[in-house]
């Protein structure tokens, strides 16, 4: 073959190849997410002081390595709520502090994992702006947030600067399906609930302000496109809601899925799981494919429970690379079988080692003094008397809610608080009680006072509804026959003590000679019976139509325990904090705590001498004496029998 012919042949092969390529240029890109880690770097529950198979970036890191190895091209993002949420976060923020130049321990871990970028969550603002800046300055990856601006005070919003870069355009080289290198401009845009201005008012007022999430997307996405972004990944720290959009919603991710230009959504904030059956009937959701209105989307749980994965197919067009399909999934670090938690991922030893010093210091910090108790707290007789172990929770919740309602439309509602004794023996055993001595109270004791990781919810209810709430609680007691002189069992053992809500801010009596008004399903079974009597607010009988804001938890507010009227519809505020975080912050703030119960409820006088009996811990014998409760003998399984004489 002569030189000329060879060159024609070569060029025709080359042009054929180019022609074929034009049809086939495809990139498979895997995009992964962590969200709502809340300082859970390793597999440890500091409240229980033991290893946990249900939390920890160290375990997610193992899933990440596997998921990365499965593909040629991947990126990795964090969606925020990173710096606060377990005692490690408080240890750094409140004990050691963080100076400019210091590396926050979360980044000692995360900087090992090649994150491409991060987004700011609402909890990032909990410890103030300087702490936030010093923290994110120690990340080895960039941050973005598009809807928080620095307040410059000149009254002109047009020149306001974003607190963080409103978006990023990351140049990335990927391998296409033919094995060729391709450059792609990946746009990344972050969002936070504008509610930060209420939730962290003290840290933020006058310093920054927040804009609506959808408005911010509409503002920046065209700019990102004009700067050449081939694809755009949205990272909203925001859940999804079926409500019609007005403006300034906290949960705006479903609205974002309808904005042209967004190719993938890595969302979070609501500590839920997408795709999952929870969202089967959510409008626009396809939980088999993992899309929201056609856009691949993922929300990988909380505390390092899951890795979120979006698999995008990109095709080259005249306008650059475009999404030509995509799916999503979540991968869990554990599964539950027969009520047992089974680990699905080992903790990555490098991540564990990276925060070893801070982890050990946090365990020590849990034992340090947080404040002082002027009286002991125990729950041995929490079902018989207004009790300090419940009172301190209610006091903390009232303190928290009064702050939370400031400047909202609910500002002038009087605040009540509901709480129940969590640790009160029962089936868990005779040592399952809270018992704290007067004197120093440590951080670890928070877990004795509030066992469950509930979040604080506020419901709006009137006097009549609150009365029914308490009627349901009063199902804790058997009906007592005033004509009997023999001992009578006081406690209805089928009624869980965590459903014995006591409401502070009002006073009332419980008439246990009447039958229970409700059964355990929240159905009225004795329509004529009212056990809750003499219910008073501010020294006057409680009016049926008087409105209140009542602090409770997500479990109760959304229908847990089947309380009358409580089905989620009364919830006015889903606070961003756990009840036990509110309690810890209350003790941090007050330092000296008087936990004495205010005796706002008691058994109504019976008019006859009646003896009731029940079981509790033998450790309560001395405390019982002071309350007129007499120990009468040993019971099975380590319990002691007690007798209380009522009149």
CB of 600 to Mg ion, least distance (A): 4
- Residues from 598 through 637 that contact Mg ion (CB under 5 A): 598, 600
CB of 250 to Mn ion, least distance (A): 11
Q: Which stretch binds Mn ion (CB under 5 A): 78-86, 382-390, 490-498, 546-554?
A: 78-86
- Residues from 36 through 55 that contact Mn ion (CB under 5 A): 36
* Nearest alpha carbon to residue 100 among 129, 127, 138: 138
Q: Which stretch binds Mg ion (CB under 5 A): 75-83, 306-314, 501-509, 578-586?
A: 501-509
> Judged by CB, which is closer to Mn ion: 239, or 421?
239
Residue selected from 45, 81, 212, 386 as contacting Mg ion according to rule CB under 5 A = 386
> Judged by CB, which is closer to Mn ion: 36, or 90?
36
> Judged by CB, which is closer to Mn ion: 127, or 508?
127
Contact 291, 323 (CB under 8 A): no
- Residues from 151 through 190 that contact Mn ion (CB under 5 A): none
Residue selected from 33, 78, 81, 471 as contacting Mn ion according to rule CB under 5 A = 81
Please tell me the distance from the alpha carbon of residue 241 to that of residue 252, in angstroms, as a whole number.
Answer: 7
CB of 358 to Mn ion, least distance (A): 21
Please tell me whether residue 324 adopts helix, strand or coil conformation. Answer: strand
**Angle at the Cα of 433 from the Cα atoms of 430 and 589, rounded to 5 degrees:** 170
Q: Select the binding partner of residue 577 from Mn ion, Mg ion, none (C-beta < 5 to 8 A, by kind).
A: none
Q: Select the binding partner of residue 53 from Mg ion, Mn ion, none (C-beta < 5 to 8 A, by kind).
A: none
* Nearest alpha carbon to residue 609 among 485, 512, 479, 477: 485
Structure tokens at 521: 């399903």
Q: Select the binding partner of residue 36 from Mn ion, Mg ion, none (C-beta < 5 to 8 A, by kind).
A: Mn ion
CB of 391 to Mg ion, least distance (A): 5
> Judged by CB, which is closer to Mg ion: 257, or 391?
391
> Judged by CB, which is closer to Mg ion: 574, or 600?
600
- Residues from 175 through 214 that contact Mg ion (CB under 5 A): none
DSSP assignments along 11-29, one per residue? HHHHHHHHHHHHHH-EEEE
CB of 572 to Mn ion, least distance (A): 20
Residue with tokens 């509409």: 218
CB of 36 to Mn ion, least distance (A): 4
> Residue 80: how many CA atoms within 13 Å on its side-chain side?
30
CB of 68 to Mg ion, least distance (A): 54
Expressed in percent and rounded to 5, the helix, strand and coil fractions of the chain are: 30, 30, 40
Contact 595, 408 (CB under 8 A): no
- Residues from 34 through 53 that contact Mg ion (CB under 5 A): none
Please tell me the distance from the alpha carbon of residue 599 to that of residue 601, in angstroms, as a whole number.
Answer: 5
Please tell me the distance from the alpha carbon of residue 401 to that of residue 583, in angstroms, as a whole number.
Answer: 12
> Judged by CB, which is closer to Mn ion: 81, or 263?
81
Q: Which stretch binds Mn ion (CB under 5 A): 80-88, 167-175, 451-459, 533-541?
A: 80-88
Please tell me whether residue 443 adopts helix, strand or coil conformation. Answer: helix
CB of 389 to Mg ion, least distance (A): 11
Structure tokens at 594: 């008087």
> Judged by CB, which is closer to Mg ion: 348, or 386?
386
Please tell me the distance from the alpha carbon of residue 588 to that of residue 372, in angstroms, as a whole number.
Answer: 10
* 143-144, strands of its sheet edge to edge: 143-144, 117-119, 74-78, 26-34, 306-317, 320-332
Show Cβ contacts of residue 381 under 8 Å, excluding neighbours closer than 6 positions. Answer: 387, 616, 620, 623, 624, 627, 629, 642
Please tell me the distance from the alpha carbon of residue 66 to that of residue 88, in angstroms, as a whole number.
Answer: 27
CB of 388 to Mg ion, least distance (A): 9
Q: Select the binding partner of residue 43 from Mn ion, Mg ion, none (C-beta < 5 to 8 A, by kind).
A: none
Other CB atoms within a 10 A radius of the CB of residue 571 amount to 16
Q: Select the binding partner of residue 391 from Mn ion, Mg ion, none (C-beta < 5 to 8 A, by kind).
A: Mg ion
Size of the site for Mn ion (CB under 5 A): 2
Q: Which stretch binds Mn ion (CB under 5 A): 76-84, 436-444, 536-544, 598-606?
A: 76-84
Please tell me the distance from the alpha carbon of residue 124 to that of residue 169, in angstroms, as a whole number.
Answer: 23
Q: Does residue number 33 form part of the binding site for Mn ion (CB under 5 A)?
A: no
Q: Select the binding partner of residue 488 from Mn ion, Mg ion, none (C-beta < 5 to 8 A, by kind).
A: none
CB of 597 to Mg ion, least distance (A): 5
CB of 487 to Mn ion, least distance (A): 50
* Nearest alpha carbon to residue 548 among 420, 421, 405, 407: 405
Q: Which residues contact Mn ion by CB under 5 A?
A: 36, 81
Which stretches of the chain bind Mg ion, using CB under 5 A? 386, 391, 504, 598, 600
């Amino acid at each position: 073959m002569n030189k000329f012919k060879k060159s024609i042949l070569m060029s025709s092969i080359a042009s054929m190849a180019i022609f074929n390529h034009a049809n086939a240029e495809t990139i498979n890109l895997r995009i992964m997410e962590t969200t709502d880690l809340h300082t859970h770097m390793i597999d440890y529950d500091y409240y229980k002081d033991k290893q946990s198979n249900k939390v920890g970036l160290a375990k997610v890191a193992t899933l990440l390595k596997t998921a990365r190895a499965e593909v040629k091209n991947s990126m990795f993002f964090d969606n925020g709520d990173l710096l606060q949420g377990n005692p490690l976060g408080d240890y750094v923020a409140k004990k050691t502090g963080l100076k400019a130049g210091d590396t926050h321990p979360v980044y000692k871990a995360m900087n090992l994992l090649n994150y491409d970028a991060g987004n700011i969550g609402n909890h990032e603002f909990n410890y103030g702006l300087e702490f936030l800046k010093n923290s994110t300055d120690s990340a080895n990856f960039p941050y973005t947030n598009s809807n928080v601006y620095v307040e410059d005070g000149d009254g002109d919003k047009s020149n306001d600067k974003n607190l963080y870069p409103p978006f990023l355009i990351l140049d990335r080289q990927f391998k296409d399906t033919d094995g060729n290198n391709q450059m792609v401009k990946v746009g990344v845009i972050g969002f936070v609930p504008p509610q930060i201005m209420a939730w962290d008012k003290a840290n933020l007022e006058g310093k920054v302000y927040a804009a609506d999430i959808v408005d911010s997307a509409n503002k920046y996405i065209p700019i990102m496109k004009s700067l050449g972004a081939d694809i755009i990944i949205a990272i909203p720290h925001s859940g999804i809601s079926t409500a019609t959009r007005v403006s300034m919603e906290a949960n705006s991710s479903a609205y974002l899925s309808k904005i042209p230009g967004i190719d993938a959504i890595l969302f979070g904030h609501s500590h839920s799981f997408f795709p999952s059956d929870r969202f089967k009937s959510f409008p626009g959701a396809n939980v088999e494919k993992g899309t929201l209105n056609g856009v691949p989307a993922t929300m990988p749980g909380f505390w390092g429970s899951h890795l979120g994965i979006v698999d995008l197919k990109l095709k080259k067009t005249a306008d650059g690379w475009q999404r030509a399909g995509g799916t999503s999934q979540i991968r869990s670090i554990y599964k539950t079988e027969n009520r047992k938690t089974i680990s699905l991922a080992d903790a990555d030893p490098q991540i564990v080692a990276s925060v070893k010093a801070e982890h050990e210091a946090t365990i020590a910090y849990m034992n340090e003094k947080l404040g002082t108790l002027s009286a002991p707290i125990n729950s041995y007789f929490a079902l018989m008397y207004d009790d300090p172990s419940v009172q301190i929770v209610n006091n903390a919740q009232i303190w928290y809610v009064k702050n939370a309602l400031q400047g909202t439309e609910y500002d002038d509602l009087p605040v009540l608080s509901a709480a129940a004794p969590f640790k009160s023996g029962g089936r868990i055993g005779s040592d399952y009680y809270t018992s704290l001595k007067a004197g120093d109270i440590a951080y670890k004791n928070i877990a004795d006072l509030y066992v469950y990781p509930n979040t604080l919810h506020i419901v709006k209810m009137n006097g009549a509804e609150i009365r029914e709430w308490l009627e349901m609680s009063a199902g804790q007691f058997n009906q007592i026959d005033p004509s009997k002189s023999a001992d009578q069992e006081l406690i209805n053992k089928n009624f869980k003590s965590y459903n014995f809500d006591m409401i502070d801010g009002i006073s009332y009596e419980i008439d246990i000679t009447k039958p229970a008004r409700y059964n355990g399903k929240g159905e009225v079974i004795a329509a004529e019976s009212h056990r809750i009597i003499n219910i008073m607010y501010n020294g006057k009988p409680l009016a049926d139509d008087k409105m209140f804001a009542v602090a409770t938890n997500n479990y109760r507010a959304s229908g847990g325990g089947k309380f009358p009227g409580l089905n989620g519809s009364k919830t006015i505020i889903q606070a961003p904090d756990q009840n036990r975080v509110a309690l810890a912050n209350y003790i941090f703030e007050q330092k000296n705590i008087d936990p004495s119960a205010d005796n706002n409820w008691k058994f109504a006088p019976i008019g006859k001498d009646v003896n009731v009996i029940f079981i509790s811990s033998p450790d309560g014998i001395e405390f019982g004496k002071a309350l007129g409760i007499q120990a009468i003998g040993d019971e099975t399984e380590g319990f002691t029998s007690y007798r209380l004489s009522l009149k």
